Amino acid sequence: MSYLSPLLSRHGAVQAGGLDAGVAAHYGDPNREQRALAGYNGRPGTAVVDLSHRGVVTVTGEDRLSWLNTLSSQSLTGLKANVGTELLFLSIQGRIDFLARVVDDGATTWLLVETQEAQPLAQWLNSMKFMLRVEIADVSQDWAVVGSVNEVEGWDKLLKWTDPWPHIGEGGYSYAAIDEAEHPGLERPWHEYLVPATQLVAMVGDRPLAGVWAAEALRIAAWRPRLGAETDEKTIPHELDLLRTAVHLSKGCYKGQETVARVHNLGHPPRRLVFLQLDGSQHTIPAPGSEVFAGDKKVGVVTSVAQHYEMGPIALALIKRTVQTDVVLTVNDSDEKYVAAQETIVATDAGQVVGRAKGFLRAPR
């Protein structure tokens, strides 16, 4: 049976589809919900987002952090309690198999993942534990995730994952073509709370709710990639600027590390993530999966799209790295065509760091 959130009983709730099936897309007024989530007129946002469909996997045992360190792209041996980070589990070819948001409470490491990832991730981790002192469990039915831009008053005792994006982590690297102080992700702090599933309705209480459409609009505006949206079976982390938060370039060996190092030091990612400001004169927006053209040539695909309460229709797209940054793109969705101005997320010269004297790419200060 598919999951249905108890908060769908709220007045005006309209269920989402796709990656977010089971929770509300909106509660009747997506733009108002965005303002309530993000804050406006100098006031902080007060709304929370029901993400109770998300997957939650726990890892317990004395060896949990050192073990996860050997399997993933992130350095976890020195991870402090209640500090959020993220990691990737990669294939031998360096492609992204799993992306997990990570927080450790001192006894348990919590991995927050997309709905469809929890069971296969738990199974894969169990197959990799061998004789180490670790226990893995898919606890998605027992815990609900609730998101917010601002910290929620009265929830200080709940375990909370705070998104490190867009800050460059230790061992990370930025592929952005802008000054870090200008990164739009700085305007979107993000927190995800773990709430006992049986207490979800009571804990949310009468707080204002925003649907996942509101959260997605803020995510896209922050250039924040999402597994299952910006990724496919070929995606490597360089294409999405994920080296800044999910990869430690100086840690020990892990599966996929050779590809990560080779592309970063000697090569270039074949594709790059871009932000699209879409023509707002039409009354529709393109669907994810719509093709992106430069002139008559197909150069990529739209991965996420939303109606932003200030900028209008916006999108993320994955396009060929060699597409010039000043080219006006066109998005084709069936019979509709949308003119799209691109903003560079991943620089066209991303990679090939060895021998680079200067450039857009930068490590943390």
Helix spans in the chain (H): 30-38, 64-71, 118-127, 200-204, 212-221, 257-266
Asked if residues 306 and 289 have their Cβ atoms less than 8 Å apart, the reply is no
* Residue 62 pLDDT greater than 90, yes or no: yes
pLDDT per position as a tens digit, 35-44: 999 998 889 9
* Residue 359 pLDDT greater than 50, yes or no: no
Q: What is the pTM of this model?
A: 0.95
* Residue 54 pLDDT greater than 50, yes or no: yes
Q: Which two tokens stand for residue 106?
A: 């001192």
- Residue 358: pLDDT band with limits 50, 70, 90: very low
Q: Which two tokens stand for residue 177?
A: 């073509």
d(C-alpha 40, C-alpha 138), whole Å: 38
d(C-alpha 144, C-alpha 54), whole Å: 7
CATH class for the region spanning 270-344: mainly beta
CATH class for the region spanning 1-269+351-365: alpha beta
d(C-alpha 146, C-alpha 264), whole Å: 35
Cα 271 to Cα 6, 284, 292, 298, distances in angstroms = 40, 27, 13, 13
Q: Residues of CATH 2.40.30.110 domain(s) within the chain? A: 270-344
d(C-alpha 135, C-alpha 142), whole Å: 17
pLDDT per position as a tens digit, 227-270: 999 999 999 999 999 999 999 999 989 999 999 999 999 999 99
Q: Which two tokens stand for residue 19?
A: 């990656």
What sign does the dihedral 130-135-140-141 (CA atoms) show? positive
d(C-alpha 350, C-alpha 346), whole Å: 7
E-assigned strand segments in the chain: 14-15, 24-26, 39-40, 43-44, 48-50, 55-60, 85-90, 96-104, 108-113, 135-138, 143-148, 160-162, 191-196, 209-210, 271-278, 291-294, 297-308, 312-320, 329-333, 336-344
Q: Buried b / exposed e across 268-287, counting CB within 10 Å, b at 16+?
A: bbebbbbbbbbeeeeeebbe
- Mean pLDDT calculated for residue range 324-343: 94
- Residue 281: pLDDT band with limits 50, 70, 90: confident
Q: What pLDDT is attached to residue 334? A: 86
Percentage of the chain lying above the pLDDT 90 cut: 92
Dihedral in degrees, nearest 10, Cα atoms 195, 197, 200, 202: -110
Q: Residues of CATH 3.30.1360.120 domain(s) within the chain? A: 1-269+351-365
Helix (H) or strand (E) holding 245, with range, is: none
Q: Kindly calculate the radius of gyration of the chain based on its CA atoms and give it in whole angstroms.
A: 20
According to DSSP, residue 176 is labeled B
Percentage of the chain lying above the pLDDT 70 cut: 97
- 108-113 and 209-210 strand pairing: unpaired
Q: How many CB atoms lie within 10 A of CB 234?
A: 12
